[in-house]
Amino acid sequence: YARGVARDLDNIGAVYRDLGKSKEALESHKMALDIWSKAGDLRGVVKALSNIATLYEALSDNEIAKAYQSEAEQIKTLWSITG
């Protein structure tokens, strides 16, 4: 159930991003990240971290973007996650 909610929040974040509503998109992706983290869903965590990094990059907040992307890459490497 929780993973489905996280997936829906992630999708809502993508819609907000496409609409140019970065603040709302970040909120949705961060909520998804929190749920996936609590559920232990590492693929979801990586997805949310990458989506958050992309949003910060689009907002020209490159340092924060790099931090989120670095965390995503570390998880992928440690747990051999592809995609």
Selection from 52, 61, 54 nearest residue 31 by Cα: 52
C-alpha neighbours within 13 Å on the C-beta side of residue 78: 9
pLDDT digits (tens, 9 = 90+) for 12-23: 999 999 999 999
DSSP 66: H
Mean pLDDT, residues 28-44: 96
- Quote the pLDDT of residue 70: 97
With beta carbons less than 8 A apart as the criterion, state whether 68 and 49 touch. Answer: yes
- Quote the pLDDT of residue 81: 65
pLDDT digits (tens, 9 = 90+) for 45-83: 999 999 999 999 999 999 999 999 999 999 998 888 665
What tokens appear for 9 in the block? Answer: 């929040």
Taking each helix axis from N to C end, the angle separating 42-58 and 62-79, rounded to the nearest 10 degrees, works out to: 160
